[in-house]
Amino acid sequence: MVEAPFKVDEDVVAALRNAVRDCSDRGLLYASKWAAELLSSVPPSKRQPEPPAVVPTLPDFHTSTPARSRTPPALSFAARNILRTDAPEAAQRSQAHEPSAPSLQGQSIDVLRQEAEWEAHDVDRLVMAKAFMEAKEFLRVIHWLKPCRSSKATFLRVYSQYLESEKKAQREWYKLEKTREQPPEPVNTSLHQLLELVSNATDPWLLFLKAVFLCRLSRREEAIESAILSISMYPWNWSTWVALGDCLCDGDELSSLLPLLPLPASHPLVLMFQVKTLNSLNSPTDNELALCDRLLSEDFFPRSMWIMALRGNVLYYLHDFTAAEGEFRKILAIDPYRVDDIDILSNILYVTENTTALSKLAHDYLAIDKDRPEICCIIGNYFSLRAEHEKAVKYFRRATQLDRTYLAAWTLMGHEYVEMKNSHAAIEAYRKAVDVNRKDYRAWYGLAQAYELLSMHQYALYYYQHATALRPYDVRIWQAQGMCYEEMGRLREAIECLRRALIGADPEETVIHLKLAKLHNDLEEYAEAAAYHRRIVEVCRAAQKPVPEWSKSAVYVARYHIQHGGGDLDLARQYLLLVSTSNAEEVNQANELLRRYLPAATLRQQQQNAQVRAASEGPPVA
C-alpha cells in the first residue's frame, strides 16, 4: 500500500484546538502553548473559526431565570471520544507503519461513557483544582481531588503529587549545597510510589505520566512502551513526544524507533519529533533541514515560529551561522516578545562576534523579563564577548538558580571559568552540566579541556572519548583528542585520531594534514609525511594560494624525493623551482637543494638505472 501524502486539513485543526484545551486543563502548559502556536500558523483558509455561541434575544421583561445558550460548552476529552468510536479519519487514510507498531486506537465506548459521567460529576472540583494548579498550590489540588474518580481528576492529583515531590527534592538538594553530602542531582524518593498509582493505567494521559516516571527511574524500554501507547490513543500531546525523546541516547536508537510509531512517516508529528530529538542530541544533518523546509511548506505549517526555531537550531548545529541568524530574525519579525530559543540567537551573535547586535538583543529582552534563564544567558554572553568574565559568570549562575536543569548556562559558565584560568571551578560547572544531561557532548568536551589545563591528560582523554562517542564526526573533538595523545607521547593513537578527524573535515583542509605530516616525521615515516605534505601543496595550488603558504611543504616533499629515497626527481625539481622564484622564507633551502643535492641525486639515479638495465640484459657473450 502506497502511503498517501499528508496535508494539514480540518481534522488536524480540530485536533490542535482540542489539544490546546486538553493540555491546558491538565496543567501541561508547555504542550498547550506548543499546540496553540502550531494552530495559529495554519493558513486561515484551512483554519475556519469554531461556531460562536448563539446569544439569544431577550424580551423587554426580565425573568428570574436567565436564558441558556443554544450552543453546548466545549466537550471534554472523554465526551468527545464517545462520539468517535474509531480512529480519526485523517490518521486512518494515511496510516502506514510496521506490523509490530500499535495502531491509532481509542478506549472502549463503555469506558469513555463512564469517564464522561464521572467528569460531569467532578466538574466543579476539576475547575477548582485547575485554578489551584495554576497558582502552584499542589497540595490543595491533591486534597480536593481525593474523592474524584475520573481519569482527569486522577491525572491532576498524581501530577500534582509529582510536582510537589520535585519541589521537596529540590529544597533538600539546595540545603546540601557546597557540602560533600550533596548528590549530583535532586533525588525524588517518591517516584516508585507514584509509579504504583499509574501502573495499570489505560488512559493516554496517565500513560504519559507512567512514561515520565519510568524514564526518571532509568527503565527506558518500559518508558518507551508506555509513551508509544499514549501516543497511539492521543497523538497531539507534545509532552508525550518529549518524554519519548528523553528515553533515547543516540540517532541509531531514534532510527530503530521510528518504524514502531503508530503514525505514518509523513505525519508532521513524526517529522517534528525526529528533528527535535536530533537537535537535543546535537546531531542534526542536512536531512533534518529538509524536513524543516517540508514542515514549513503550505501543506503543513508555513508560519510556525516553533518550526522556524527548530530550523534555526539545525542551522546552528550545522555551523551555518548566517542562515541561522536569518531564521531567528524572521521569528522576531513575527513576535518580538518570544523568549523561547532566543538564547540560541545570542550564541550565534557571540560566535560571530557581533557585539552591536548582541548588545541590542540583551537590552531589548532585559526590558521584557529579567527573571527568565534564557535572558540571563543573553546578558552573560554579552559580558563574555566584552571579556568581562566575572559579570558573565554572575548571570550564568543566575540562570542556573532560576532553572537548575538549564544545561546551556552550566556549560557557558564552565567556559568562562576556563577563560579565567580557574580550572577547578570550570570542572565543577561542567560536572553539573553532565549531571543535567549526559547526552550533551559539550559538557564532556569542556571537562576534557579543563583537565588538560591541569596537565591531567589521562583524565582529559577519558572525557574526550565520551565526547567523541556522542559526536563521532566532530572534527574539533578528534583533533583535541589527538593532541592529548601527542602530549602523552602516544603518537600512533594521535595519528589515528587525526585520521578520524579527516573524515568529517573540509576537503580543502590543510591544518590536520600538516599535523599528521609532523607526527609521521617524528616517527621517521618519511614517505607518509611526504604524502600529507604533497596533499597540502595540491590543495593550496588548486585554491591559488600564494607560495609562502605552502612552500615549507613543497621543500619537504622535494627533500624526501632527493635525500630519503622517494625518487621522483622531476616532481622535486618542479616544487623547488616554484619556491626558488617566490618570496617565501624557504628560498635559500630550495636553491641549495637545486644546486648541491639535486644534480648528485640525478646522477645517482642514472647510475642505478644503468645498473638495472645491464642486469636485465645479462652478461656479455664471449
pLDDT confidence bin for 592, thresholds 50/70/90: confident
The total of structural domains in the chain comes to 1
pLDDT surpasses 50 at 68: no
Q: Reduce the DSSP state of residue 374 to 3 states and report it.
A: helix
CA distance 272 to 244: 13
Burial class (CB in 10 A: 0-12, 13-18, 19+), 226: buried
* C-alpha to C-alpha distances, 610 to 82, 423, 614, 618, nearest whole angstrom: 98, 65, 6, 13
CB count within 10 Å of CB 60 equals 4
**Spatial separation of the C-alpha atoms in residues 157 and 148, rounded to whole Å:** 9
C-alpha cell at 7: 496535508
Per-residue pLDDT reduced to its tens digit, 239-248: 999 999 999 9
What's the grid cell of residue 197?
A: 498509582
Higher pLDDT, 568 or 127: 127
pLDDT of residue 90: 40
- CA dist., res. 493 & res. 226, Å (int): 44
Q: Which helix (H) or strand (E) holds 321?
A: helix 321-334
Looking at 312-316, 327-331, 481-485, 594-598, which range is the least confident one?
A: 594-598
> What CA–CA distance (Å, rounded) separates 444 from 460?
9
In this prediction, residue 51 carries a pLDDT of 64
Residue 198 is part of a domain; what is its CATH number? 1.25.40.10
Assigned C-alpha cell, 68: 441558556
Amino acid 119: pLDDT: 86
Is the residue at 491 inside a domain? Answer: no
* Whether residue 85 has pLDDT greater than 70: no
C-alpha to C-alpha distance for 156 and 126, rounded to whole angstroms: 8
DSSP letter for 125, please. H
Q: Check residue 66 and give its pLDDT.
A: 47
Residue with cell 498517501: 4
Does residue 106 form part of some domain?
Answer: yes
HEC-encoded secondary structure of 159-200: HHHHHHHHHHHHHHHHHCCCCCCCCCCCCCCCHHHHHHHCCC
CA 330 from centre of chain: 21
For 155-200, the pLDDT digits (tens) are 999 999 999 999 999 998 888 887 888 888 888 999 999 999 999 9
Q: Which three cell numbers stand for residue 444?
A: 564532556
- For residue 613, the model assigns a pLDDT of 66
Weakest-pLDDT range from 216-230, 263-277, 489-503, 586-600: 586-600
How large is the angle between the packed helices 29-40 and 10-25, nearest 10 degrees? 150
What is the per-residue pLDDT across 402-428, written as a single tens digit (0 to 9) for each? 999 999 999 999 999 999 999 999 999
450-477 burial, b if ≥16 CB within 10 A, otherwise e?
A: bbbeeeebebbbebbebbbebbbebbeb
Whether residue 434 lies inside any domain: the answer is no
Q: Predicted confidence band at 62 (pLDDT cuts at 50, 70, 90)?
A: very low
At residue 562, the pLDDT reads 85
Has residue 325 got a pLDDT over 90? yes
pLDDT at 570: 85
**Torsion angles phi and psi, residue 19, rounded to 5:** -65, -40
Query: What average pLDDT does the structure give for the chain?
Result: 87
Q: Which residues contact 470 (CB under 8 A, 6 or more apart)?
A: 250, 281, 282, 283, 439, 440, 441, 444
- Stated pTM of the model: 0.84
The per-residue pLDDT for 64 is 44
CB 33 within 8 A of CB 139: no
Q: State the sign of the Cα–Cα–Cα–Cα dihedral 250, 33, 90, 232.
A: positive
Give the model's pLDDT for residue 529: 95
Q: Does residue 135 fall inside a structural domain?
A: yes
**C-alpha distance from residue 294 to each of 36, 164, 275, 308 (Å):** 20, 41, 12, 11
What distance in Å separates the CA atoms of residue 301 and residue 218, rounded to the nearest whole number?
A: 35
Query: Does residue 169 belong to any structural domain of this protein?
Result: yes
What's the rounded mean pLDDT across residues 333-340? Answer: 95
* HSE-CB for 129 with a 13 A CA cutoff: 29
- For residue 105, being part of any structural domain is answered with yes
**Quick one: cell of 347?**
550564541
**Burial of 57 (C-beta count, 10 Å sphere; 0-12/13-18/19+):** exposed
In the predicted structure, residue 81 carries a pLDDT above the cut 70: no
Residue 241, domain member (yes or no): yes
Q: Which domain holds residue 233?
A: 1-48+76-90+100-175+186-247
